[in-house]
Amino acid sequence: MKNSVYLKDVVTLQLDDNKCTGCGMCVDVCPHEVFKMNGKHITIQNRDSCMECGACSLNCPASAIFVESGVGCAAAVINSMLGREGECCCGTDTKGGCCS
């Protein structure tokens, strides 16, 4: 699923450059090639391709990556594509509209 773009400038993904050790684990586990090695550290090369799965954050031994897995707009797009009724960006919607 290379070069997938969900919604522009909405992802919760954050990288703390000061904590990053450059281990490359995020590069290995990211299904959409959001990260790349830049010398001895990681950079975010394609933020809008992030689907907020949380694999990078869960596998970062330095806790340098933060992403609210499953709560962003990418989750809403995925839920919609899967035909999940009553799902929005933050879980099950019980009020008939998107969660706030």
Residue 54 covered by a domain? yes
d(CA 16, CA 98): 31
Residue 38 covered by a domain? yes
- Does residue 82 or residue 62 have the better pLDDT? 62
> Encoding tokens for residue 45?
């090369």
41: domain CATH number? 3.30.70.20
Q: How confident is the model at residue 90 (pLDDT cuts 50, 70, 90)?
A: very low
Residue 52 covered by a domain? yes
Q: What is the mean pLDDT of the chain?
A: 79
Number of domains in the chain: 1
Residue 49 covered by a domain? yes
pLDDT for 29: 96
Residue 43 covered by a domain? yes
What pTM did the predictor assign? 0.66
Over pLDDT 70: what percentage of the chain? 67
What is the longest distance spanned by two Cα atoms in the chain?
A: 49
User: What range does the domain containing 52 cover?
Assistant: 14-68
Asked if pLDDT for residue 76 goes beyond 50, the answer is yes
> Encoding tokens for residue 7?
């919604």
Residue 23 covered by a domain? yes
